[in-house]
Amino acid sequence: MPNDGPPWGTRGTIRAVSRGRGRARAVVVVVTLVLAAGCTGGEEPGEELEVDDSAQGPPRDTVASALAAAYAGDHSAPEGREEAACFADALLERADVAALQRAGVVDEEGAVPDPLPVLDEATAGVWVDAQAACADFVEVSTRALTTQSKGRLDGEAYAACLRAELTPAQLREAQVQALAGEMAGPAVAALTQAQGTCAGRALPSD
């Protein structure tokens, strides 16, 4: 009989890509995680938060460095650092420092709090879109589950299944809900179910 679910439980999949400070943090933690319209073909343009050029705060470069460091986490490989730098720049293109301070993403000194707070919906949206500009959610999810399953997961099969189960818009919605703390939201539930189903199909039968 086929394996109907991963041995770690279906909710472990979304936790692996939607929580924490590192690259997984969004990609829905996430990603998010959690990545979507910006690089997986979504039809709607990404959101932007209002930019206040008169606002005072820590220098943009300081905030960019802090965001990149928080996003990279323990991933010190060049690829991880490049992705983290990309994310920081992409986020700051969509939200100015003042907006990130209001959302609790950075403090008065420009540091990123640990842990990151639950985000408001608008900030969660620009966060997901910034991640999407630099990394693909399905690929990040596949890497996370391959590691979590200790290499037993058939990554190609899992990725193909997840792309077939959910549209880019559905993936984006799930990531936004997760970052906004709506872990019981319908989009998160759909993603969790799809990840569990696809992981079960992509694991060898024991």
Q: Is residue 136, in this structure, part of any structural domain at all? A: yes
- Tokens 């690089």 appear where? 39
Q: Is residue 80, in this structure, part of any structural domain at all? A: yes
Q: Is residue 146, in this structure, part of any structural domain at all? A: yes
Q: Is residue 3, in this structure, part of any structural domain at all? A: no
Residues making up the chain, counted from first to last: 206
- Token code pair at residue 80: 């991880």
- What is the pLDDT at residue 80? 82
Q: Is residue 46, in this structure, part of any structural domain at all? A: yes
- For the chain, how many structural domains are there in total? 1
Q: What is the pLDDT along the chain (206 residues), one digit of tens a residue?
A: 343 333 333 333 444 333 333 333 333 333 333 232 222 333 334 455 555 544 567 999 999 999 999 888 876 678 788 999 999 999 999 999 999 999 999 999 999 998 888 999 999 999 999 999 999 999 988 988 888 889 999 999 999 999 999 999 999 999 999 999 998 999 999 999 999 999 999 999 86
Q: Which domain holds residue 68?
A: 11-202
Threshold 0.85, pTM exceeds: no
Q: Is residue 6, in this structure, part of any structural domain at all? A: no
